[in-house]
A and B are shown apart, each in its own frame.
Chain A
């Protein structure tokens, strides 16, 4: 893929003003296509960053109260998209294990919103992510990853099964396609804009 020519400003000289970053979260169950989605649109091969939590994962964060420290490592994939010479979008995939909520706060703070990837054969895998974003008030859209190009549910059935509000967009996507992931991200940003505009 030739990112140098497709990303404006990627090979351009450093801009004079400060560069701004924004981020979008890509959530969903294990194997639903999060890393594939990030990689399809990222200008770098997805990188992995690890957070180490030195405590039990059940909300104990004061180490002095934990006699034998347990350490847990949580890995997150992410990619980067230069949107302009002074604007960089980062895409973060959520960790596979939903129970590591401490990482989700870091992931979602200041985010534009989230794409919740859904595999219709395993709808329940995304319930926890949807609950989290609803509670956090973070705008999100549902993107049904069409494995094999086949939908086993109608869209209205998906909405009902996930019981998401009617104003939450549900789209289909192919996580392997740059064009499809791009359109999905555009839909999310439009949704976030209408949410933020309505809040003012």
Chain B
């Protein structure tokens, strides 16, 4: 169920965004119930943290599961704007504008 546990391929950020792919929307038969629920959940984009919270799974379990599901093409993962270090100034400008417009 958590195949690939030892592989550190996906050190997904807490705020990494997950969305269901066309394949994940029509996966056919034989999908694990948890995978199916995550596919349903992420039709509307969700972060890794939201998936863990809504699935009532420890973060580490959700992290591995999301990594596996991305590998089998059920979901697409978008690492955050600042995955490798700091957000850039252009992104921060957009955050500032968004907050001011709230």
Please indicate the chain B residues that have their CB under 8 angstroms from the CB of A18 in the complex: 78
Is B94 on the interface with A (CB-CB < 8 A)?
A: yes
Min distance, Cβ A25 to any Cβ of chain B, angstroms: 10
B60 interface residue per 8 A CB criterion: yes
- List, in ascending order, chain A residues with CB within 8 A of B80's CB: 20-23, 110
**Contact-residue bracket for chain A:** 35 or more
The tally of CB-CB contacts under 8 A between chains A and B is 131
Check: A173 CB closer than 8 A to any chain B CB: no
B10 CB, nearest partner CB in chain A, Å: 13
| B7 sits at the interface (CB 8 A) | no
Q: Is the beta-carbon distance between A92 and B98 smaller than 8 angstroms?
A: no
Q: Is the CB of A185 within 8 A of B78?
A: no
Q: What 1/0 flags go to B51-95 for Cβ under 8 Å of A?
A: 011100011100000000000000000101111111111011111
Known A-B contacts A23-B14, A48-B53, A110-B13; the reply to A87 vs B87 at CB < 8 A is no
Does A124 reach chain B (CB closer than 8 Å)? no
**Could you say which residues of chain A place their CB within 8 Å of the CB of B85?**
110
Q: Residues of B with Cβ closer than 8 Å to A?
A: 13-17, 19, 45, 47, 49-50, 52-54, 58-60, 78, 80-89, 91-102
7 A-B pairs closest in CB distance: A83-B98, A110-B82, A47-B53, A21-B15, A20-B81, A52-B58, A51-B59
- Given A22-B15, A87-B95: 16 more A-B contacts, CB < 8 Å: A7-B102, A20-B80, A20-B91, A21-B81, A22-B80, A49-B59, A51-B59, A52-B59, A83-B97, A89-B99, A92-B14, A106-B14, A110-B81, A192-B87, A193-B96, A196-B89
7 A-B contact pairs sorted by A residue (CB < 8 Å): A18-B78, A20-B78, A22-B15, A50-B52, A80-B47, A193-B96, A196-B92
